[in-house]
Amino acid sequence: MSNPRTLYEKIWDDHVVERRDDGTCLIYIDRHIIHEVTTPQAFEGLRATGRKLRRPDMTLAVPDHNVPTTTRIKDGKLLPIDDPESATQVATLKANCAAFGVEHIEMTAPEQGIVHVVGPEQGFTLPGTTVVCGDSHTATHGAFGALAFGIGTSEVEHVFATQTLLLKQSKPMEVRVEGSLGFSVAPKDVALAIIGEIGAAGGTGFVIEYTGSTMRDMSIEGRMTVCNMAIEGGARSGLVAPDDKTLAYFMGRPRAPKGAEWEMAAAYWRTLPSDPGATYARSVFIDATKIAPLVTWGTSPEDVAPITGVVPSPADFAEPSKQAAVEKALAYMGLTPGQRLEDVEVQDIFIGSCTNSRIEDLRAAAAVLKGRKLASNIRQALVVPGSGLVKLMAEDEGLDRIFIEAGFEWREPGCSACLGMNPDKVPSGERCASTSNRNFVGRQGPGARTHLVSPAMAAAAAVTGRLTDVRQLIG
């Protein structure tokens, strides 16, 4: 018998093309998802060196980062993208895909959406595969037991040319989450609670495997939210072992295996979960029963507190460098120590991003908004579905009506205000309750102040005009 191995180690071992003396491995990449922002320079590199794209069939392109989320087709005609640079990037992606034989999902196709929503939805992402994309939230695909991580443009070019990457194996880390989540506590709160516990750099050098009853009981969408934010805890990848729910998710997806190949694949996927007795280099335990709806108050995702709490003071932190960081963060965020988080007024609401733009997220927000209206101080409230297919499903369920009646704008899919590369930005000095994954300085636009929350919490803030404990609105 071989040694007991973790899920991560199994996937790793199955993808080693060559192991060097120094421990660096040439790792085969099964799935490469590309978008318009991090690829032009990689295609430029291929051209400059006269290299070919090795596996176009393992590459899928979809524009998402800077596509407009306003109406795209009017009177049967595609509207041009206003921003000339965005238009150039989107057009460049399309032209490059045509030149190198890569399948490209058009901006107007119903399948278009955020890379990390589209990949699994299309059955392109599969359990046990290595998945890369030039976006750090590629960790999202780990929810299916895929080893997925973000890469930079040089690596995109390396995968284009060789379908491999040179990597050092990370150490496996276990984050075990046990217990039932309280009323209105969402997977997003689990994700934030974990980062609050381990810190924004706590997972650096590790690949996290999320285990425990909370993760097993969690929906596929919820697992995606948790894995999505692995990178915010410093880990390049987060994983959840594939189980019956995972298999049920892929059954019948357009690019998933069919017939005999499905049986073969499913049998393989069932061998992937960590062996009993496999060891992790680090283990962290999270008691899910103690997690409350959370909100960030600072400019790092580790700056997190229960909504019932108050803004901390720099003095609450032991480390001098963290004290200084907190002081700066509070100045940027316009918050004072001791201020009740529930008293913090917001002007903008963003429901979207690859963290929380799937159907379950939209349902959770709509459940809070049903029969309610935006507070008068809300200047802009956006719902941006993760893909065209999510949007259609939501419209079938009538969720769009609920959002629109509440006063939200129902938009076309894309990254939108998650990073403000398209016109969807939070104006300087304004405060946004956002379901995205980053509250960095300027992330949602220069001077924008971001509070990361779950979809239900974003909806609650929309109704009251301030950060709000969703449990007081519904129950």
Residues in 61-80 at the binding interface with other proteins, rule: CB under 8 A: 65-66
Angle between helices 220-228 and 359-369 (to 10 degrees): 100
Q: Does 126 bind other proteins (CB under 8 A)?
A: yes
> Which token pair is 299?
């400019």
Distances in Å between the Cα of 318 and the Cα atoms of 326, 327, 340 are: 11, 13, 22
Q: Choose, by CB under 6 A, the member of 30, 135, 348, 361 that binds ligand SF4.
A: 135
What are the residue ranges of helices labelled H in 270-352?
Answer: 320-333
> Which token pair is 358?
């799937």
Q: Can you tell me the distance from the alpha carbon of 412 to that of 352, in angstroms, rounded to the nearest whole number?
A: 11
Q: What is the DSSP letter of 298?
A: S
Q: Does 105 bind ligand SF4 (CB under 6 A)?
A: no
For residue 330, the minimal CB distance to other proteins (Å) is 15
Q: Does 82 bind other proteins (CB under 8 A)?
A: no
Cβ distance to ligand SF4 smaller for residue 274 or 435: 435
Q: Does 271 bind other proteins (CB under 8 A)?
A: no
Q: Can you tell me the distance from the alpha carbon of 367 to that of 355, in angstroms, rounded to the nearest whole number?
A: 19
Span from 20-28, 210-218, 282-290, 308-316 in contact with other proteins (CB under 8 A): 20-28
Whether the CB-CB separation of 139 and 237 falls below 8 Å is answered with yes
Of 404-423, binders to ligand SF4 (CB under 6 A) are 415, 418-419
Q: Does 261 bind other proteins (CB under 8 A)?
A: yes
Q: Can you tell me the distance from the alpha carbon of 284 to that of 5, in angstroms, rounded to the nearest whole number?
A: 18
For residue 4, the minimal CB distance to ligand SF4 (Å) is 34
Q: Can you tell me the distance from the alpha carbon of 369 to that of 408, in angstroms, rounded to the nearest whole number?
A: 10
Angle between helices 153-162 and 40-49 (to 10 degrees): 50
For residue 352, the minimal CB distance to ligand SF4 (Å) is 7
Q: Can you tell me the distance from the alpha carbon of 331 to that of 156, in angstroms, rounded to the nearest whole number?
A: 38
In the list other proteins, ligand SF4, none, the entry touching 437 (Cβ below 5 to 8 angstroms by class) is ligand SF4
What are the residue ranges of helices labelled H in 19-126?
Answer: 40-49, 84-100, 115-121
Span from 22-30, 172-180, 272-280, 404-412 in contact with other proteins (CB under 8 A): 22-30
Of 128-157, binders to other proteins (CB under 8 A) are 129, 134-136, 138, 150-155, 157
In the list ligand SF4, other proteins, none, the entry touching 115 (Cβ below 5 to 8 angstroms by class) is ligand SF4
Reduced to 3 states (helix: H, G, I; strand: E, B; else coil), residue 85 is: helix
Which residue type sits at 426? Answer: V
Of 302-361, binders to ligand SF4 (CB under 6 A) are 353-354
Q: Can you tell me the distance from the alpha carbon of 416 to that of 54, in angstroms, rounded to the nearest whole number?
A: 32
Q: Does 228 bind other proteins (CB under 8 A)?
A: no
Q: Choose, by CB under 6 A, the member of 10, 32, 65, 158 that binds ligand SF4.
A: 65
Q: Does 57 bind other proteins (CB under 8 A)?
A: yes
Q: Does 372 bind ligand SF4 (CB under 6 A)?
A: no
Number of residues that bind ligand SF4 (CB under 6 A): 14
Cβ distance to ligand SF4 smaller for residue 438 or 466: 438
Pairing state between β 147-150 and 304-306: unpaired
**Binding positions for ligand SF4, rule: CB under 6 A:** 64-65, 114-116, 135, 137, 353-354, 415, 418-419, 436-437
